[in-house]
């Protein structure tokens, strides 16, 4: 597919990640006194859907843009999703009537959470990441748990601490224990890390007790965001046995502000890698369900320029989001509109493709040297970490906006 041209001139640039081919969904605010509202990114602008619905330009059969979140649209199902995208494509086409009164410059608004997160589940479904981490802690012979090649491993996270890009992240506190210490100590995390992930937003549901096929799971996915599941590695090392991550992952998860739909990503579908062990039938994909999306991470110390510390691609995942969702429901677990599924850390085979500092510095033993001359093993206070991603087409690209967070010092413990 090539670039679809629009009457919004900034959408026709090869540099924008928001061409007419994309049309991602977000929520924005113009000032503290005005109600936030839903919008669509087109070039450097945002189309005000609350105003457009009120004036009759958009009609999905029931009002859905009178609230500042996308859950109502998700709840209408795939036919409505397709109808909305078709209508927006019609409104923004190059030969359509220009509607400047509905556009606002992205530079002049504040982006907010695009949807209400019902539940958050994070997976551990990237093989290179799992091999790297497993090798560090258990050696290469035992890097992957026995179940890893048969099911996508995951754990339930915290919906309450999912935040939108640009939100500061307070350094977490918790118990840690040195290898030679008799007792643990309590204090701020010292090994603070990122996890470069994609997030799948669920727009459908299944009743408790029901299961879904991989195809049905793919049909239930409304769209995707970039996702950074911040991780306190020293807290995690002490607490995770035998039940896995808890407080080390509960303090913050950052997502990008724009939901990119499956329709926009359709030209970039690709297959998961060849299976090392045959999957059971309920997890076999009926077709390509991953996406070819270039990803990058930058780190910027306070007041200094950013250094790109990793580049990889979403196509490195061993399990797709559809497989993860189908597995999640295999027990009869009810999945709901607004559920968020994290892919797990996305790493590639090369050192430069590792999606966490834990891997990039090999547990802190191999410090990174930034372009500024600073070195890092893990994240320091006032560092800013940014995830970016885009699928690259013929003369256009499909992006998500930045997924950014700045670390602030730990707060005093409550007394």
Catalytic residues: 129
Query: Do the beta carbons of residue 95 and residue 65 sit within 8 Å?
Result: no
| Structure-block tokens of residue 408 | 């602030």
Q: What is the largest CA-CA distance in the chain?
A: 73
CB atoms within 10 A of CB 140: 11
Count helices and strands (H / E) in the chain.
10, 27
CA distance 379 to 74: 36
| Structure-block tokens of residue 108 | 């002049």
The 3-state secondary structure of 250-308, one letter per residue: HCCEEECCCEEEHHHHHHHEECCCCCCCCCCHHHCCCCCCEECCEEEEEEECCCCCCEE
Cα 102 vs. chain centroid, distance in angstroms?
28
CA distance 341 to 339: 7
User: Please, which residues have CB within 8 angstroms of residue 178's CB and are 6 or more apart in sequence?
Assistant: 185
Query: Do the beta carbons of residue 67 and residue 2 sit within 8 Å?
Result: no
Backbone angles phi, psi at 238, to 5 degrees: -85, -35
Backbone angles phi, psi at 348, to 5 degrees: -105, -175
Backbone angles phi, psi at 201, to 5 degrees: -100, 125
CA distance 297 to 263: 25
Place of tokens 């808890």: 246
């Amino acid at each position: 597919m090539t670039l679809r041209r629009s009457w919004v001139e900034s959408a026709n640039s090869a540099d924008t990640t928001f061409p007419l081919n994309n049309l991602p969904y977000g929520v924005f605010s113009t000032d503290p006194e005005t109600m936030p509202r839903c919008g669509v990114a087109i070039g450097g602008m945002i189309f005000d859907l609350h105003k457009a619905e009120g004036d009759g330009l958009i009609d999905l059969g029931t009002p859905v843009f009178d609230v500042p979140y996308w859950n109502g649209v998700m709840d209408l199902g795939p036919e409505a999703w397709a109808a909305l995208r078709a209508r927006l494509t019609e409104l923004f086409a190059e030969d359509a009537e220009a509607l400047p009164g509905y556009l606002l410059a992205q530079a002049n608004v504040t982006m907010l959470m695009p949807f209400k997160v019902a539940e958050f589940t994070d997976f551990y479904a990237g093989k290179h990441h799992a091999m790297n981490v497993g090798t560090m802690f258990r050696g290469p012979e035992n890097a992957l748990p026995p179940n890893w090649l048969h099911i996508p491993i995951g754990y339930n996270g915290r919906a309450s601490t999912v935040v939108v890009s640009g939100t500061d992240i307070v350094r977490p506190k918790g118990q840690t224990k040195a290898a030679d210490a008799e007792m643990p100590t309590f204090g701020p995390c010292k090994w603070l890390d990122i996890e470069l992930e994609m997030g799948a937003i669920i727009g459908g549901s299944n009743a408790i007790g029901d299961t879904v096929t991989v195809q049905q799971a793919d049909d239930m996915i409304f769209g995707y965001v970039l996702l950074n599941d911040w991780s306190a590695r020293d807290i995690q090392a002490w607490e995770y046995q035998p039940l896995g991550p808890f407080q080390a992952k509960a303090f913050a998860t950052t997502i990008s502000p724009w939901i990119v739909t499956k329709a926009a990503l359709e030209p970039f579908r690709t297959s998961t890698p060849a299976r090392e062990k045959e999957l059971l039938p309920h997890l076999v994909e009926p077709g390509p369900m991953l996406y070819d999306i270039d990803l990058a991470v930058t780190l910027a110390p306070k007041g200094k320029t950013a250094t790109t510390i990793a580049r990889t691609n979403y196509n490195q995942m061993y399990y797709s989001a559809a497989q993860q969702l189908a597995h999640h429901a295999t027990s009869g677990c009810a999945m709901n509109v607004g559920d968020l599924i994290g892919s797990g850390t996305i790493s590639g085979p090369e050192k430069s493709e590792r999606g966490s500092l834990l891997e990039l510095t090999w547990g802190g033993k191999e410090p990174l040297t930034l372009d500024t001359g600073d070195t890092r093993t893990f994240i320091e206070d006032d560092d800013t970490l940014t995830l970016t991603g885009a699928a690259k087409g013929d003369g256009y690209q499909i992006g998500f906006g930045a997924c950014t967070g700045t670390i602030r010092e730990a707060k005093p413990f409550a007394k």
